[in-house]
């Protein structure tokens, strides 16, 4: 029989895993006022972004002085050319929260004059959720006529990891309650 001593760590671990699976608020640049012209590496916000896995439903948080700066969500073309004239969305409240509501790339540039040219820009790529569901259909006997399943092999590691996330926490909880 399992004691509380063994049960508690398992529950804590399951809880931690669950919280990893949830949508997150992500502070851009990892600190307040990171939305500014980078010091000397023109790509520094994107270097930060590369360390993250952005998922559908996550929120980007950008903090800046609303008197002197703003955030524009733009197309890829306008991101590359620092064209601020026709943004998809414009945020200038100083405490901007942007929902990453679909998979694929999002492009942001500063709305302040000349800032984008000096490197104040950010690109994030949001991982697909649909593909994950597609790659893990409900358990069903395969149709006999079905061809070999080449689509499975296209599952990217990232998607597999995301799926493993909720699965791992769910099975851990299952283990925990078996012991109760
Ligand atoms: C930018 O420069 C300031 C002062 O020169 C320094 O304190 C800060 O750490 C630098 N930030 C980065 C991201 O290099
Ligand atoms: C610029 O970057 C280099 C290398 O990352 C660093 O050593 C240097 O301190 C930086 N300069 C400033 C002013 O932040
Ligand atoms: C900026 O983008 C707008 C619309 O996307 C376009 O009409 C305009 O010509 C562009 N300006 C420059 C300087 O490229």
HSE, side-chain direction, 13 A CA sphere, residue 36: 13
- Specify the ligand 2 atom closest to the Cα of 39: 14
Instruction: Kindly report the protein residue whose alpha carbon is nearest to atom 10 of ligand 3.
Output: 83
Is 77 touching ligand 3 by the criterion CB < 6 Å? no
Question: Could you tell me what percent of the chain has a pLDDT over 70?
Answer: 59
Query: In a 3-state reduction of DSSP, which class is residue 70?
Result: coil
Q: What is the pTM of this model?
A: 0.65
Which one-letter DSSP state was computed for residue 35?
A: S
Distance of alpha carbon 135 from alpha carbon 176, whole angstroms: 28
Instruction: Kindly report the protein residue whose alpha carbon is nearest to atom 2 of ligand 1.
Output: 39
Tens digit of each residue's pLDDT (9 = 90 or more) over 140-164:
444 445 444 443 333 333 343 444 4
Query: In a 3-state reduction of DSSP, which class is residue 113?
Result: coil
Q: Which has more pLDDT, 50 or 151?
A: 50
Distance of alpha carbon 125 from alpha carbon 58, whole angstroms: 12
Residues with CB under 6 A from ligand 2: 39-41
Tens digit of each residue's pLDDT (9 = 90 or more) over 10-37:
666 666 666 666 779 999 998 888 999 9
Name all domains of the chain by residue range, CATH numbers in brackets. 23-130 (2.60.40.420)
Distance of alpha carbon 108 from alpha carbon 88, whole angstroms: 10
Is 88 touching ligand 3 by the criterion CB < 6 Å? no
- Specify the ligand 2 atom closest to the Cα of 40: 1
């Amino acid at each position: 029989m399992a004691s509380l001593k063994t049960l508690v760590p398992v529950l804590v671990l399951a809880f931690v895993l669950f919280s990893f699976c949830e949508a997150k608020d992500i502070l851009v640049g990892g600190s307040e006022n990171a939305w500014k012209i980078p010091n000397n590496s023109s790509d520094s916000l994107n270097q930060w972004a590369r360390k993250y896995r952005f998922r559908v439903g996550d929120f980007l948080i950008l903090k800046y002085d609303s008197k002197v700066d703003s955030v524009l969500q733009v197309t890829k073309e306008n991101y590359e050319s620092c064209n601020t004239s026709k943004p998809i969305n414009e945020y200038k409240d100083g405490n901007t929260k942007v929902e990453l509501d679909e998979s694929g790339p999002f492009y942001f540039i500063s709305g302040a004059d000349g800032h984008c040219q000096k490197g104040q820009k950010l690109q994030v790529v949001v991982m697909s959720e649909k593909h994950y569901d597609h790659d893990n259909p409900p358990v069903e006997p395969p149709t006999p006529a079905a061809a070999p399943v080449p689509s499975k092999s296209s599952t990217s590691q990232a998607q597999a990891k995301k799926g493993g996330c909720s699965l791992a926490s769910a099975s851990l909880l299952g283990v925990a309650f078996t012991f109760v």
